[in-house]
Structure 1
Amino acid sequence: MTMTRVIEEVYRAGTPGRLVVVSVIATPVGIERVLSRFPEVEIYTVAIDPVLNDKGFIVPGLGDAGDRAFST
């Protein structure tokens, strides 16, 4: 949902000639969600992990950034 919200804000500011999303990690569900609402957007990602868990985290993903930063 986060990326669709960002794209909405970009369009609210004006219509770009080209909109490219670059990410480190994504899920098929997230990619499909973005492209279903914004089919003109180009998406490039390093990795596609298979699922989201019940908390909405990408699995296997990279882990919680806060936990990694603060060793919690």
Structure 2
Amino acid sequence: MREAARLKGRFAIAYADAFAAQVAAEKGIPLITGDKELSLLEREGLIATLSQNMRDTIGKSLKPNLKVFFYLT
């Protein structure tokens, strides 16, 4: 929780966004989102952002054992 608060303060993002980024980081898996507000976290290498079309395409083709944390907005 502390890391989420730190991310929120550092990047001026919503707490839910910071929490999602924290969970992904703790699990060691990428956070894939189309939320443009999180582009600052992407530039820091903390997450990857995708367009809605790309999210839909990837979501349909994910293998069950692939560890990726999706935070869809």
User: Would the TM-score normalized by the shorter structure come out above 0.5?
Assistant: no
Relative to its length, the structure with more strand (as a share) is: 1
Tell me the TM-score normalised to structure 2 length.
0.31
Report which structure shows greater RCO (CA 8 Å, sep ≥6). 2
Bigger radius of gyration, 1 or 2?
Answer: 1
Tell me the TM-score normalised to structure 1 length.
0.31
Relative to its length, the structure with more helix (as a share) is: 2
